[in-house]
Every structure is written in C-alpha cells, then in structure tokens.
Structure 1
C-alpha cells in the first residue's frame, strides 16, 4: 500500500507526465 505522501508523490509525478504514464504509475501504486 502507498501512504498519503506516496500518493501525493505519484500524483505530482503523473501531473508532469503523459496521461498514459500517469495511469501506469497510478495503477502501479494501487498494486503495491
């Protein structure tokens, strides 16, 4: 599981990247 900080980090990274990559990061985050 990701903690709040992890989610914010993923969101920040995703916001600065392509939608597809953001989706992959989000999915990876949910998986862990």
Structure 2
C-alpha cells in the first residue's frame, strides 16, 4: 500500500528507469555483435 500518490508515482518512475537501463545493456550487447 502506498501512503500517497507521489510515493506511488515515484515507484513507477523507478521501475521505468530500471527498465530503460536494462534495455540499454541489451542494446550494447547487440551492437557488439554487429
């Protein structure tokens, strides 16, 4: 449970950032193989 909306938004923002960072790692691996 989230105490308020900003805490909820913060957790979503963290998940998005972590997802982007993971995708960047995948892109680096793909580019190395080219």
> What is the TM-score when the length of structure 2 is the normalising length?
0.42
The structure, 1 or 2, with the larger RCO (C-alpha pairs under 8 Å, 6+ apart) is: 1
Greater per-residue helix proportion: 2
Rg comparison, structure with higher value: 2
> What is the TM-score when the length of structure 1 is the normalising length?
0.44
